[in-house]
Amino acid sequence: MRRHRNVKIVATLGPASSTYEMIRALFEAGADVFRLNMSHGVHEDIRKRHEIIRQVEKDLGRPIGILADLQGPKLRVGVFANGSEELVEGAAFRMDLSTAPGDAKRVNLPHPEIFAALEAGTSLLVNDGKIRLRVGACGKDFADCTVEVGGTISNRKGVNVPDVVLPVAALSEKDRGDLEFACELGVDWLALSFVQRPEDVIEARSLAKGRAAILSKIEKPAAVKAYDAILQVSDGIMVARGDLGVELPVTSVPPIQKRLVRGARAQAKPVIVATQMLESMIESPVPTRAEVSDVATAIYEGADAVMLSAESAAGKYPVEAVSTMNAVAMSVEKDPTYRSVIEASRVVRRESVADGIVAAAREIAEATNIKAICCFSQTGNTAALVARERPHVPIIALTPLMSTARRMALTWGAHCVITPPQERFKGAVLAAVGAARSDGFATEEDQIVVTAGVPFNVKGTTNILRVAPCDERLISRVDPE
């Protein structure tokens, strides 16, 4: 199955999308990567969905990426004697370590690490920011607050602390168990929640031991501040706009999104824009105009992927949501303005031989009638470098490793093909030509660009560029071996 677009679609699986028939329908509608949300469902549910995805992959003969999204630590208040209370603006309200049921004046906050980080003037947000408290006096086991924005507070509502870096690890005990389970299953990407510092990512990487790539979710102000350092140690990025919009003014999220996308593009690392992209399609078969514009904006910015959450996991119209996202992407990528915007935002990096090779491949493709850029990649890095150039022709990423092909399902424009290991460059050219023709990117009258590294099957050796005819009879017998 050949995709006719460059941006990838990530679809979250859940109660509305757990059968073989539905998961296959979502893939055929346009999903490239499936997200398994470790916050919901038991391990056995996750295992069954993973098995179905791999069966669909086998039946359709196309690599499919799987992203396991770790929950991260959840900071919540305790319970109330009456189940809930109404907090009034200007009133005093205490949070403390006492386990007594809460009332209109206080409630348990069973997180001493929060109290350790608080200081006067810090904001506490409850229930996705619907309630805002300002800390006055505080100590190691209490915080006396003033209600700045009131509302109903009820049992176990979530708490956000946007103003400080909390001494809380990004991986809870549950996350550690989920991480090991997901890696044993064989997922391709791990999405890490509650990232505040690069050390959080380094810890997750040490536990994954190379079994999955690490994608950092940027959802906290501390992560935005430390973004460059976090990006350096991550394999990919998710712009998690939901939590960003809780802990930061919602008006700051669009410029942050643009900065995060551009930063990841510059480093040739996949970046997903996520949260509420087609939110109304949870209940409606058609999206709002604003939602369509939101998806289009992420694509114009050059995001590698756009993501559906509850729309495909629990909504009434999961296939329609994927189809809509696919249609928006197709429409944007046909727009002449799209090419000019993408090219204007291209980051020029010439720090290695590989950088020069992929830039030359893109420039040759733009100057001549080249039908595709074919790159051989052991790890996916060469395909990512080609994708950073955002060429106007398709990228055919060839690899002997299914694990690499699955990870590249998240890379902009990468059409992944499994090919036998190559020992000679001439054989690689013939394999590239065969893939371009068999998958419908070129005919025997056309030409393609081939990039590879010699010696083969060694990562980081991209050093050859060849313009090759797609008529195998014209590939010279004196071609370099």
Residues annotated catalytic, as ranges: 35, 76, 217, 275
**Bridge pairing between strands 131-139 and 84-87:** unpaired
CB-CB neighbours of 472 under 10 Å: 13
CB-CB neighbours of 467 under 10 Å: 13
Q: Compute φ and ψ for 455, nearest 5 degrees.
A: -75, 150
Confirm if 372 and 441 have CB atoms less than 8 A apart.
yes
Residue 47 Cα distances to 13, 182, 185, 336, 476, angstroms: 12, 9, 7, 43, 50
Q: What's the order of all strands across the beta sheet hosting 123-126?
A: 106-108, 92-96, 142-149, 131-139, 123-126, 159-160
Confirm if 366 and 373 have CB atoms less than 8 A apart.
no
Q: Compute φ and ψ for 369, nearest 5 degrees.
A: -90, 55
CB-CB neighbours of 15 under 10 Å: 11
Cα gap 68→182, rounded to integer Å:
7
DSSP string, 394-442: -EEEEES-HHHHHHGGGSTTEEEEE----SSHHHHHHHHHHHHHHTTS-
DSSP H helices, 166-208, are 173-185, 198-208
Confirm if 360 and 347 have CB atoms less than 8 A apart.
no
Which residue, 318, 308, 320, is CA-closest to 12?
A: 308
DSSP string, 323-343: HHHHHHHHHHHHSHHHHHHHH
Cα gap 462→376, rounded to integer Å:
8
DSSP 80: B
DSSP 11: E
Confirm if 319 and 24 have CB atoms less than 8 A apart.
no
DSSP string, 197-248: SHHHHHHHHHHHTTSSEEEEEE-SHHHHHTHHHHHHT-SEEEEEHHHHHHHS
